[in-house]
Structure 1
Amino acid sequence: MEIKKHYKLYKDGKQWCCMALAAAAVSAGLMLGNASVKADTATTANPQTEQVVTPAADSTSQTTDLAAQEKAAQAKDNGNYGWLDSANVVNNGNLQVSGWQATNQAAGKDNRYVIAYDSTTNTELGRTKVNGNLARPDVAKAYPNVVNAKDAGYQATMNSLDWSKVKNVDDHLQIVSRYSNAANGEGDHVDSWSQPINLDKSNNAYLDNFSIVNNQLQVTGWNATNKALGKHNHYIILFDRTAGHELARQKATAVARPDVAKVYPQVINAQNSGFNVSFSLANVDLNHELQVISRYSDVQNGEGNNVNYWYAPKKFTPNNTSNQGNLDNFNLSNGELTVAGWHATDYSQVESNHYLILFDKSNNTQVASIKVTNVARPDVAKAYPAVQSAGQSGFNASFGKVNLTPGHAYQIVSRYSTLAEGNGDNGQSKFTDFWSAPVTLNQQAYNIDNFSATKDGFNVTGWVASDQA
């Protein structure tokens, strides 16, 4: 029988120790009867001796020793073990991952990477080098024959991933933990593929503004969802819910929304989820319920595979649709026309531009138009309490010098319009009119102030006023 010693390297505090393990082995050959075999030199061997080894300053030797241990240990356990503990999207596109990979096959492979991979499209999204292994005593306990198990852990934040390569939120996404002998992570390597990771699939949105501004429907808001992955065409659609059909669509340019990104850090497109579009009022019936749809699509025209968010419908027509007014004063003096009156309707809340139009009824033509600012009319508000805008429905304005035709009938048209220019009507605008009673220029009056006799005849003073003048 002969004694063989094996040396095992282990760490005690900050020192590396070498332990000698003695083992007895039967020499080759036959042991006959009671014959005894003696060694030439008697040696008393301690089966376990400990020797303190001071680690070398050069870490290369330590790496070489570790690689040697791993290669030697492969005979006992050549498995490749790993697990992804967590994978979370942070900061709207970065991927924070943690887990472990333990294998003796990592011998000589000192470059460690984590790789984000889309197995559905067979595309790498990006990779990050792992700097510094994490202690995993739990892994070491489970795999005692794997040399690197005790330091198998990793934690990394993967930046600059190319999410445009993902075609669908349901793509099979995996994290690959890799040991490689090449600095770029290629070369000879050993990989551990994680279970599929799941992205947040909520569809989040809000409509900040849906109103009429200068004869257009102004729509602003945001829509943040990972379901938009692979769908790079963002459309805002105006839908007539009452009639049940689409009215128009606008392709949206992404607007930065850092406020949304802060609330939804797990949503990749949240940072640029905003939109701001306008729709013409042509062919839009404000008496209908209108609805806005935010759509992400994988084709240029907004059809194809798409994900929609339907915002709450809105009806622009006021609850009170009454329309009333009165012309209090029509004064033509020295060729200058001034008018006063009121026009109360809640359509003015939508059609916010107020015009007065001087209209020649006799020949059916517009003579002049002016834009006015409303004045307070508490008397009208008292008379029409159900009209929200009645308290600010008055007007008092001058058309300036006008050329009017004697004998013609004229009307004042009070108009609330969505259009902020002209007379409020461009063929596409929405407006509400109140027509005053006609005023006919056929009036005349006179008065004799004085009639007296003189030595030369009569002295007559007085006045005469006529529309014919």
Structure 2
Amino acid sequence: MYDNTAHQQVAAKLVTGNAARPDVQQSNAGIATATASGFNCDFGQLTLHAGHSYSIVSRYSTISTGNGDNGSASHQDYWMPAVTLNQAHASIDGLTAAAGGIRVAGWLATDQLLDKPFAYVIGLYNGKEFGRQKISFSDRPDVARAYSQTYQSGHSGFDLVVPTNNTVFKQGQLSFILRVTDDPAGNGHANDLNSQSYAVNAGEVTGVYKPTTNAVAISGWHAAMGQSSRPYQYLIVTDLNGHEFYRRPLNETNSNLTTSTGARQAGWIAGAGNSAFALTLPVTEQMNHRGIRVIHRYTDDAAGNGNYIDWWSPEIDINTGFQPLNGGTVYYDPATGQLATGWRNVAGNNYYFADGYQMKPGSDDWVYNDQLHGQMYTGVQWADGHCYDFGRDGVAHAQPWNDSWSWPFPASGEGSFAFGQGFGYNWAGRTNSYHDGLDFGAYDHPGADVHAVHGGRVIDIATVRDQQARDLWWYALVWDGRTLFVYQEAFSNRSRIIVNVGDLVYPGQVIGYRDLSHLHLGMNTSPNYRMDLAHSYQPNWTDSSQATGSGSWIDPEWALRVRPY
């Protein structure tokens, strides 16, 4: 036996009575001594060291001392492959709560025991030590068979209790250090093996909403190491923000039921095999259209508060998400129970839902329609100033080619404007000297065809009359979800406007034929044209009683130049 690390011989043993090895002779027929080449040698108790490399040397020598280096003798060696004593293997076979601590059973086989004879199991709770226990090894022939080259593998078993108060374990993980050391107290120079983590609180809560009975069937299991000091069990129903709707106590008929799942997934927790529960819970009005969560609770308080350990269910939806309503589709937000409006991303797709407001025909009032509130957009629509094809399923697909801008008389382009035609403050005989739009005259911007400057939906077509109820002109309103476009003072009668309320118009599309002296193009941030018109001699208005709350006039010449969106 030779220590390759220390470069010295450890022991030598004279072999007598070589054993017959016909198998060796068959494969080495040309060697005279092959027939009797076998040996079986026991070195007895040796002092070996962990981490050192050792070789077995088979030597033929001319002298009995086995050296053959005295000047008159000789020897011939064969070095077997080196073995390094650095093997370490361990397993925790079982973990259970016990009186006074945690019972840990398993085995630890390591070559480090050659130099570090003291072995410990050290318990950790969320990474901090809660107790330790010295190992008294027992026989494990199964480990010896699996790891025959590892020191003391046949005597590597242990079954012990790491002392602790199990009631302190509420949330988190247990883990264990299997340590060998040169210190009788378990510190000193040590080599550690770390176990897997074990949850101190485990479970599963599932819920199925039953529309026919308007109830939720709750079932599951919940195993906790601190359960023994918390004899009361509750199911608590909350919203997704943790606000409680109500709670129900459990009793011997609907709790502590047998569960193979709990026993299999958390067998190290006492009572895991009898930790199941089942109860049907009613759905209150406040819960409808919401996502809920159900808590299973162990507590020391009969009312369900006190010192408790909880396990939460995943989200359980009560008529949430996409739902049919008023002939269309709406989306109930699981967090609030409210109908979604505006943009909403669901499962990676973008949808748009109406806010419920529309133009009241003939009044130019922007009014609320409960039947429209929350309705999902489908088909081609303008939203926030851009064109989308929402298809049948409501998923938004942008159509940027429909988002362009155009001058109302493309042949003239921007052209030129006299002082009184421009937007903003100018005298021109107007109230407050303010002009809320831009006038395209028949002289400076010739042509009859009036083209849409941007896309959108026609929300109203109406007339302006004088005090004798005679038509002065007709106008068309187009709304793109962001800006109201007002085409007025160009059409003497309804027949000159060729689009209808509800039509989609696209940039550059002809919407009517001018037969009066000019087109007045107005642009406002509010679709509430009645209020816009009432404040046409000032840049903006604010009125909290109105649906849109406020509105501001936009300079059309600036907008058509810069194309702001």
Question: Do the two structures share a fold, i.e. TM-score over 0.5?
Answer: no
Provide the TM-score with structure 2 as the length reference.
0.34
Report which structure shows greater RCO (CA 8 Å, sep ≥6): 1
Comparing both structures, which one devotes a greater share of its residues to strand?
Answer: 1
How high is the TM-score relative to the length of structure 1? 0.40
